[in-house]
Amino acid sequence: MPRRSRIDVASPGKEAASGAPVSASAPSVSASYCAPASRDPVNNLPVINLAKAGSAIPVKFQLGGNRGFSIFAAGYPKTQAIACDPNAVVDGVEQTVTAGGSSLQYDAGSNMYTYVWKTDGAWSGTCRQLVLKFPNGSTRRADFKFK
């Protein structure tokens, strides 16, 4: 199953790896976002992640090093209800953690950020999309079905 994605994050005035120009209003960050399959318990689109409603899910990603903790665009991360696709490939989330609420951590040894997403117990029987948006407009999305 596909578990690797790439989103470009680059400095203003330069081109991202995809060749797209970067807005002058983008933050001064020069990195690429890459979610290695071996470190990420969350499957990328188009796979739907199956998880227990109310669980805390670690969403892991890299930004090319420590960029501090103001890495998300205003109002993000966020979640939105989506229609459950009965034909979609569904895979269980292999790892959950204990958490009182959502949080962001950085591990310098692995250069890995972990956003611990505390889901709502009331989401049982629904599907939702988690959206991580970065200040330059790049996004990472993951779909979930809750049991």
Judge whether residue 19 has pLDDT over 50: no
Confidence class of residue 99 from pLDDT cuts 50, 70 and 90?
A: confident
> What local confidence, expressed as pLDDT, does residue 98 receive?
87
What would the two tokens of residue 56 be?
Answer: 């805390």
The strand order across the sheet containing 56-61 reads 56-61, 112-118, 103-107
Could you give the 3-state DSSP secondary structure of residue 47?
A: coil
Task: Report the predicted TM-score, pTM, of the whole model to 2 decimal places.
Answer: 0.73
Separation of alpha carbons 128 and 134, rounded Å: 20
Rg of the chain taking only CA atoms, in angstroms = 15
Fold of 6-146: Immunoglobulin-like (2.60.40)
Whether the CB-CB separation of 2 and 43 falls below 8 Å is answered with yes
> What local confidence, expressed as pLDDT, does residue 50 receive?
97
User: Does residue 33 or residue 144 have the better pLDDT?
Assistant: 144
CB-count burial class (<10 Å; 0-12, 13-18, 19+) for 48: buried
- Region 18-23: mean pLDDT is 43
Distances (CA, A) of 8 to 40, 76, 91, 134: 18, 18, 26, 10
For 100-145, the pLDDT digits (tens) are 889 999 999 999 999 999 999 999 999 999 999 998 889 999 999 9
| CA 59 to the chain's CA centroid | 6
Judge whether residue 147 has pLDDT over 90: yes
Confidence class of residue 82 from pLDDT cuts 50, 70 and 90?
A: very high
Domain boundaries, the chain: 6-146
For 59-69, the pLDDT digits (tens) are 998 888 899 99
